[in-house]
Amino acid sequence: MQDIDVRDSHKRLLIQQIYRAQSMQRIVEARSCECPTRYPSWAAAKQVYVEHFAAFEYWDIVEAASEYRRQANQLRREAMPICDAAGNW
């Protein structure tokens, strides 16, 4: 993330949204909101970006970021009560 030039901030945003969606997915699947579940390494999100989006143009990346944001927001509805019950929201 730190190596991404400021002019490519749309790429950074996509990686952040991938990370967020993955985090919410892990919480829902594990039914747990422990820190390693909610805040895993960035490696998996970076790998998804490199494998699927690194060659994309600006608007494709913006669109992908919006899709991951929607996915994370949908999963958030299920994840929030799990994390709230664990005192981790």
For residue 22, give its domain range. Answer: 9-85
What are the C-alpha distances in Å from 19 to residues 5, 22, 26, 85? Answer: 19, 5, 11, 22
Residue 49 lies in a domain: yes
Residue 1 lies in a domain: no
Pairwise CA distance, residues 76 & 85, whole Å? 14
CB 80 within 8 A of CB 89: yes
Indicate yes or no: pTM above 0.75: yes
Phi, psi of 52 (to 5 degrees): -115, -25
Q: Let me know if residue 70 belongs to a domain.
A: yes
In a domain, 60, yes or no: yes
- The total number of structural domains in the chain stands at 1
pLDDT in tens, the chain (89 residues): 556 555 667 989 999 999 999 999 999 999 999 999 999 899 999 999 999 999 999 999 999 999 999 999 999 999 999 999 999 88
Residue 35: inside a domain: yes
Asked if residue 3 is part of any domain, the answer here is: no
Q: Is residue 13 part of a domain?
A: yes
Q: What's the pLDDT score for residue 9?
A: 77
Confirm whether 80 is domain-assigned.
yes
